[in-house]
Amino acid sequence: MQFRTHWALSFAAMLLLGILAGCGGGGGGASSSGDGSSLPVKTLSWAAPESYTDNTSLNPLTDLDEFEIYVNESGSFSDGDTPSAVVSAVDPTTHTLTSSFNLANLAPYLSTGISYKVSMRAVAVTGLKSDFSPPASFSF
């Protein structure tokens, strides 16, 4: 079955990577990096897919398990990479879709003045993963 291909293309097409300095959400305010400095809030936002590329319905509240967030300097991501962060697709408190993450939460692994690339994958409750989203750039 071509499930993974259909899943992947739909997620990549529906992903919205909005990186906005100074906006809250997805994990709180400033964080400390390894060098003792504080990183400002930098919010990564997205929209979950609602269908596969073959137009088969997808219910993100029941069909998605988590979102994997990958960060590196090259913008090249592969199946062998370990995610920098994993967030539940559904907030356990509000029972709503998770749609943002504060990249400053990765402060122990990031430095100021470096241009990073971020990409995401959706993970279904079955364990199947989408392709990587197109990378977006950010820096602190």
pLDDT tens across the length of the chain (140 residues)? 334 444 443 454 344 444 443 333 333 333 334 443 589 999 999 999 787 666 788 899 999 999 999 999 999 999 999 999 999 999 999 999 999 999 999 999 999 999 999 999 999 898 888 889 999 999 99
* Segment holding 68, helix H or strand E: strand 64-72
Which architecture, in CATH terms, is 3-138?
Answer: Sandwich (2.60)
Helical ranges in the chain per DSSP H: 3-14, 60-63
Q: Are strands 116-124 and 38-39 parallel, antiparallel or unpaired?
A: unpaired
Q: Where are the domains of the chain?
A: 3-138
pTM over 0.85, yes/no: no
Question: Among 124, 138, 127, which Cα is nearest to 58's?
Answer: 124
